[in-house]
A = this chain, B = another copy of it.
Amino acid sequence: MNAQAPRSASARVSTCAVAVDVALMTIRDGALQLLLVEPDAPRLQGLWALPGRRVRDDENLDATAHRALAELAGISAPDAHLEQLRTYGEVSRDPRGRVVSVAYLALTPTTQEPPATANARLFDVERLRAGGDAELAYDHGRIVPDALERARSKLEYTALGTAFVEEPFTLGELRGVYEAVWGVALDPANFRRKVVTAHGFVEPAEGRAAPGPGGGRPAKLYRRGGAQRLHPAMLRPE
């Protein structure tokens, strides 16, 4: 609010519980994965949820997001990409009462350690979408598609793809990010040309990466460039 003090007629105005839920995505084995935790409420046996915490008095929203990841999944990733997704405030989204939830999207590199907590796990996003792997609590089944679409869309016009890889990285690894998030196969040659052409997307680094077990020419290494937005954009195929 802020524009005016509460009016006398606004008896129905009260305070809400405010929470932060984090959709943390990473890439494992060439597939996009989402972090989910088991709620410890007995009522929610068998369901999975995004890691979430209520906002404390002395804590801004980003801090709550970091705390949710740390407390519920043992993940302390201060350098990970973290951005607000949107806020979910339907009146009955939480059966315990009015809870307004600010959802975040977090992205961590492929090589990051897996969750350290027993009741936290990574799920394949494609299999989640098919409905097979886990049933989600609350309205988290609505948040996950929003998070996926945000990630897919931001890969197009920002340099966010590099948030999924650790430096230094090869262009093959970066292409694997795009293929996993978009769910399509990309032409290696054209992908390379677009990445190198886009101003400030990546910068050359020293050395070469060792080939995989099947052989192959060693790949040049790169680091993140300074650009936030991509010019030109890398639009996904239709």
A residues engaging B (CB < 8 A)? 1-6, 10, 12-21, 37, 39-41, 49-61, 68, 72, 84, 86-87, 89-91, 94, 98-102, 137-138, 140, 157, 231-233, 235, 238
Contacts and interface: CB of A to CB of B under 8 A. Distances in A.
Most B CB contacts (10 A, CB to CB) among A1, A55, A157 go to A1
A141 to B, nearest CB: 12
A57 B12 contact: yes
A87 B6 CA distance: 20
27 contacts: A1-B20, A1-B52, A1-B54, A1-B99, A2-B39, A2-B94, A2-B99, A2-B101, A2-B138, A3-B37, A3-B39, A3-B50, A3-B53, A3-B72, A5-B41, A12-B59, A15-B17, A16-B16, A16-B55, A18-B18, A18-B100, A55-B100, A60-B90, A61-B87, A61-B89, A61-B100, A233-B233
